[in-house]
Every structure is written in C-alpha cells, then in structure tokens.
Amino acid sequence: MQLWVGLGNPGAEYALHRHNVGFMAVDAIAEVHGFDPWKKGFQGWISAGRIGTQRVLLLKPATYMNDSGRSVGEAMRFYKLELSALTAFHDELDLEPFRVKVKTGGGAAGHNGLRSIDAHLGQDYRRVRLGIGHPGHKDRVTGYVLGSYAKAELDDLTDMLGAVAAEAPLLADGNDARFMNEIALRLA
C-alpha cells in the first residue's frame, strides 16, 4: 500500500489558497479514480482506493500545515509503512506556476509542512512539487502563499490538477519521469 498525502490547511477559508494545492491534488485524484468517500482518520481525512493495481490511501492532515507530520506519522505507523511508500503533494515556490516535478528526498526549502514530516519521519520520501511561482521578494512570500488563486489562474489550476489525476497511474507504478513528462505534454 502507498500513502499519498496532500498538504494544506483545513477550513473553507483556506480552500483556494496556493498553500492548499496539495489538498486540491488529492481531491482530484480521489474523484477521477473513484476513491471511497472521505472520512475522519489519523488526525485528518482519509480516502482509500486503487490506482491501477496499486492500493493507495489518500490523506489530508487536519493538523494545519505546520504540524502535518503528526497526522502523516500516525498513518505510517498504523500501516507499518516504509518511507518509500509515502508521497507528499505540496506547493512549491521555486517552480513556475502549474509546473509539476517529482523528487525523492531533499530539504524542506522553507516549507513548514515538509519540515514537519521530515522531523517526524525523515526526508527520504517522494514529493510531488506543484509549482506556484515566487512573488519576487521574500517579504511577500507569506501573503502570496496564503493568498487565493486569482480568477485568471483557475483554468490553468484545473488543467494541472486534471493532468496530475489522469497521470496518477504512472506515479503509482513508480514511473516518476514519465509522470512528469506526460503532465508536461498535457499542459503544453
């Protein structure tokens, strides 16, 4: 089994924030692949299903971004999963908006959700980096990340989320390079 975690903050007021694009991604995957309805579990919301031949549990921590590792750690321990079974979907300032990159391991790059997971579990898990772009100056980062997508960006956001969900079987099978390539082709 794999655990795919979307990082975000709970509550309607955060729903369209750039920082919540991880939640949006796992919601899209659940919808496209016919996962079970979301239910409470592991200090968040969980939904189980299959992507191709792989069993996947989706998790949206309700612990707020800065404490995501508590929820993720609880699920990982319950299912006795190795770190290699974990994939985190998160917003990435250092990527152009709506670009998608996958990497395993590495630092948190200032992302508090990743920092929390790293502290609870270590760094050697897969990350699906969902580009939100950088506002230009470090003093503007917090407001930008915690700001909602602009109306003009919603079509591009929908296209990116749809591509991530459509190509999820490649990710489930561990074909990260092809996953990134197919998404890039869809969004070209």
Measured from the Cβ of residue 147, the count of other Cβ atoms closer than 10 Å reads 15
Q: Cα–Cα distance between 123 and 117 in angstroms, integer? A: 8
Which one is catalytic: 19, 33, 90, 111? 19
CA dihedral 177→2→11→102, nearest 10 degrees, is -10
The beta strand positions in 76-175, using DSSP E, are 86-92, 100-104, 126-131
Residue whose structure tokens are 């996958």: 102
* Tokens read off for 143: 């407001």
Q: Is 90 one of the annotated active-site residues of the chain? A: no
DSSP percent split of the chain into helix, strand, coil, nearest 5: 45, 25, 30
Q: Cα–Cα distance between 109 and 151 in angstroms, integer? A: 28
Separation in Å, CA 179 to CA 138, 141, 147, 160: 31, 29, 28, 12
Active-site positions read 19
